[in-house]
């Protein structure tokens, strides 16, 4: 079951990325990248982690939420599963967190070299 879930995660990530590039015409979304997908064990919900290039991420996320039904209907046509999972879009904070940790480590190294 784990292998099926992981495979479905990757398929959904690829297909939603394709849908956003070719089908969704909302300019408010802007340049959007799907960084990760996490499907629940019963395959009923899919958390879609996204990052946006534009600075106003909340506005872009709201536009993505408005397009959720359209995206899910196209995804259902492309998937071979019995029921298409409900999509939950979330802003991916891992890049910010990684940069914060990197800055802390760099700061510690600079302090160590100064001592």
Domain boundaries, the chain: 2-114
pLDDT, one tens digit per residue, over 11-26 is 999 999 999 999 998 8
Work out whether strand 86-91 and strand 32-39 pair parallel, antiparallel, or are unpaired: unpaired
Distance between alpha carbon 2 and the CA centroid of its chain, in Å? 20
pTM assigned to the model = 0.81
User: Please, which pLDDT band fits residue 2 given cuts at 50, 70 and 90?
Assistant: low
Q: Is 91 left (phi over 0), alpha (psi -120 to 50) or beta?
A: beta
Rounded Cα–Cα distance for residues 47 and 52 (Å): 16
User: Please, which pLDDT band fits residue 115 given cuts at 50, 70 and 90?
Assistant: low
DSSP state at residue 27: T
Which CATH fold would you assign to the domain 2-114? Answer: GMP Synthetase; Chain A, domain 3 (3.30.300)
pLDDT, one tens digit per residue, over 25-66 is 888 888 899 999 999 988 899 999 999 888 888 999 999 999
Phi/psi for 39 (5° steps) reads -90, 140
Residue 110 has pLDDT above 80, yes or no: no
């Amino acid at each position: 079951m784990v292998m099926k879930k992981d495979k479905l995660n990757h398929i959904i990530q690829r297909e939603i990325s394709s849908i956003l590039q070719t089908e969704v015409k909302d300019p408010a979304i802007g340049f959007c990248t799907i960084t990760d997908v996490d499907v629940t064990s019963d395959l009923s919900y899919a958390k879609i982690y996204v990052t946006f290039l534009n600075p106003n991420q909340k506005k872009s996320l709201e536009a993505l939420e408005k397009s959720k039904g359209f995206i899910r209907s196209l995804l259902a046509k492309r998937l071979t599963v019995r029921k298409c999972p409900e999509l939950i879009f979330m802003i991916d904070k891992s890049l910010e967190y990684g940069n914060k940790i990197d800055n802390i480590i760099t700061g510690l190294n600079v302090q160590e070299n100064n001592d």
